[in-house]
Structure 1
Amino acid sequence: MDVVSDAVAAVRIGQPSSNRVRASGRWCARFAPYDGAGFHVVLEGTCWLLPDGGDPVSLAAGDAVLLPHGTGHVIADSPADAAALARAVPFELLPDGVRSERAAGGSTAASGSVEMLCGKYRLDRSRAHPLMLELPKVVHLPNRVGSHLELRSAIALLGGELSEQRPGSCMAVPSLLDLLLLYMIRSWMAEGAGGAWSAVLGDPVAAAALRALHSDPAAPWTNDRLAAEAGVSRPTLARRFTALVGRPPMAYLTWWRLTYAATLLRDTPDSLATIARRVGYGTPYALSHAFSREFGTTPGRYRAGVAAAPEAARRP
């Protein structure tokens, strides 16, 4: 695994959801704050995104926008004023004449209407990688000729799967949604708007060390071995890695091993002994002690808590 893939995998939980919808006429719809990430892709027409506490963003056909921290927002036909925002209704409660699911094989958006992909991802923010934490409140990826070709391809494929029922769609759509999230983050980093972690991954020494740690977190890493892997001296590695990442190499390794252990506890039925071996701890006791010190709970209680969370979320 690489750093970006691991950062996304550490927080992604459950199944993402998406709908292909259209709205026309005068409309103003609110999306409540969400414990996850939301996204919108404009397929045809234009609209406005008005994030809570942020500036309005004009969206045109081909634009993609990611709200990685689940920020509440309004989508509207125009940059609504305060009075209009106060009247915004939940998107799913818009009148049928304003909002409709696009029928399989249906016509394209009519003049004056907008057609969008709207969806969201469930995220576990308790173990978020700093790369995910530094994403801005709104990631706007405008449609420009020749830019973000992989993202455009993913959008086209996802739109096609949602426009009509095809064999295998139940597997294709969640996979494409995961790919869409990855491509939106990658596109944001490529835009040069990224923060510290764009610089980290662009630095040959820090990037080489991180690739090594993420590729094999269970290896018996030392500063000397990691410096040799990065092709520099131990002092050079310590200086550059710490300055860019914000913690020394071995401290980062310890944090990542425990974060990876939390992901395995959440997503697999593996025993604590198996997980300990996969993340570089010699015994389940050693992992449990380190996990409790880092996260304030035992691995067993953490696993029980994440298992109970989806059940609690379904209760009325």
Structure 2
Amino acid sequence: MDVLSDVVAVTRTGRPRSAHVRWHAPWGQQFAAVPGSAGFQIILQGSCWLLPPDAEPVQLDTGDVVFLPHGSGHTLADTPETLLTAPDCAPDEGQQPYSTYALDTVDRSGGGGPVTVVLCGAYELDPSRTHPLLRTLPDLIHLPAHPGRRPELRSAVELLAAELESPRLGTDAVVPALLDTLLLYILRIWFDEQPSQANTRGWAAALNDPPVTAALHAIHRDPAAPWTVAGLAEEAGLSRAPFARRFAMLVGQPPLGYLTWWRMTTAARLLRTSDVPLRSIAAQVGYTSEFAFAHAFKRTHGTAPGTYRRTEPSLLSKA
């Protein structure tokens, strides 16, 4: 698998949730912060304002996509002043339109003014296995609508909106798949659109750097391979020392340090989503010795693999 697909597969857990909400002005909805989740808001019709708690209001128009990767609290309203002049438009605290994913349109009547239709939702994330790629994202990602641009994102939004508005046979299976697709498209577009500048560091730069991306893909494609710095440098098309410096500068840790971290992160998920023997998991993440695997796992997670499997909540029912 490629890096971004792996990151989402390992970090996301449970069922994503969404709802197709129709608002009638004047209206306002407060969304409480939800640690361990990522939320999105997509304007399907009309316009509104997003009011972050510690930033300037952001005007949203039809087709705009907002992604909140850290579950930050925020407010949507027809105007920035609505919550001050009509506080009764805000539902009780904790009443989220996407508390469960809806199979029909939720109608939130505020008044008789213009209608705004929003596709909103959330993804449940596992904080214990959050990839550093996600931790470096800003609190708010705003992807304004641009005619002719991001056609894959527009298509995913249209398909998801249609399924929620008019559910049919198979909708229960289609909606979660489309939500995962939507998440990947949002992240892909954001990383693709980050400017490439000299001396830029971080995962946005790493994923736009062909040599480092080649090495990352090699690690994610086959974490069990007996990788060395020289072997990864060969994948990157660089000599050993320049590659090691470049990788550490962009990713934030040395190549073999990231390899070990990814192996242990993969092992933790396998322990929680399967009942395969420890020796098989050890082999899948590059260890011929179960003892060596257990030692590395305990060094990373602070507990032995068997204890981790017995004490951590199983994801077998959620995966």
Q: Taking structure 1 as the reference length, what is the TM-score of the superposition?
A: 0.87
Change (3 A) 1:31 1:192: same
How far residue 84 of structure 1 moved from its aligned partner, in angstroms, is: 5.6
Contact 1:22 1:102 in 2 (8 A): no
Amino acid corresponding to residue 245 of structure 2 in structure 1 = R
Look up the match of 1:53: 54
Distance 1:193 1:85 in 2: 41
Look up the match of 1:117: 119
Distance 1:55 1:44 in 2: 23
| Structure 1 counterpart of 2:222, from 188, 192, 216 | 216
1:8 aligns with 2:14: no
How far residue 288 of structure 1 moved from its aligned partner, in angstroms, is: 1.9
Distance 2:103 2:230 in 1: 58
Aligned ranges for residues 199-214 of structure 1 at < 5 Å?
Answer: 199-214=205-220
Look up the match of 2:137: 135
Structure 2 alignment gaps of length 5 or more: 97-101, 107-111
Change (3 A) 1:92 1:117: farther
Amino acid corresponding to residue 276 of structure 1 in structure 2 = A
Change (3 A) 1:253 1:156: same
Look up the match of 1:79: 80
Look up the match of 2:33: 33
| SS across alignment from 2:225 | coil
Deviates more, 1:177-186 or 1:268-277: 268-277
Amino acid corresponding to residue 219 of structure 1 in structure 2 = A
Contact 1:209 1:230 in 2 (8 A): yes
Look up the match of 1:276: 282
Deviates more, 1:148-157 or 1:27-36: 27-36
| SS across alignment from 1:89 | coil
Change (3 A) 1:103 1:11: closer
Q: What is the root-mean-square deviation in Å for CA atoms of aligned residues?
A: 2.6
| SS across alignment from 2:207 | helix
Distance 2:51 2:149 in 1: 24
Change (3 A) 1:92 1:20: farther
Distance 1:242 1:127 in 2: 20
| SS across alignment from 2:297 | helix
Distance 1:82 1:149 in 2: 35
Change (3 A) 1:84 1:211: farther
| SS across alignment from 1:280 | coil
Distance 2:42 2:85 in 1: 23
Change (3 A) 1:301 1:71: farther
Aligned ranges for residues 151-166 of structure 1 at < 5 Å?
Answer: 151-166=153-168
Change (3 A) 1:92 1:224: closer
Change (3 A) 1:193 1:116: farther
Percentage of pairs with the same residue: 48
Change (3 A) 1:306 1:31: farther
How far residue 103 of structure 1 moved from its aligned partner, in angstroms, is: 5.0
Look up the match of 2:249: 243
Look up the match of 1:263: 269
Deviates more, 1:280-289 or 1:256-265: 280-289
Change (3 A) 1:252 1:181: same
How far residue 216 of structure 1 moved from its aligned partner, in angstroms, is: 0.3
Distance 1:93 1:201 in 2: 37
Deviates more, 1:291-300 or 1:200-209: 291-300
Contact 1:29 1:90 in 2 (8 A): no
| SS across alignment from 2:313 | helix
Change (3 A) 1:102 1:212: closer
Look up the match of 2:24: 24
| SS across alignment from 1:53 | coil
Aligned ranges for residues 280-299 of structure 1 at < 5 Å?
Answer: 280-299=286-305
Deviates more, 1:120-129 or 1:223-232: 223-232
How far residue 131 of structure 1 moved from its aligned partner, in angstroms, is: 0.9
Distance 1:135 1:220 in 2: 31
How far residue 260 of structure 1 moved from its aligned partner, in angstroms, is: 1.1
Change (3 A) 1:92 1:32: closer
Structure 1 alignment gaps of length 5 or more: 95-99, 105-109, 312-316
Look up the match of 2:45: 44
Contact 1:29 1:91 in 2 (8 A): no
Change (3 A) 1:193 1:171: farther
| Structure 2 counterpart of 1:126, from 116, 125, 128 | 128
| SS across alignment from 2:287 | coil
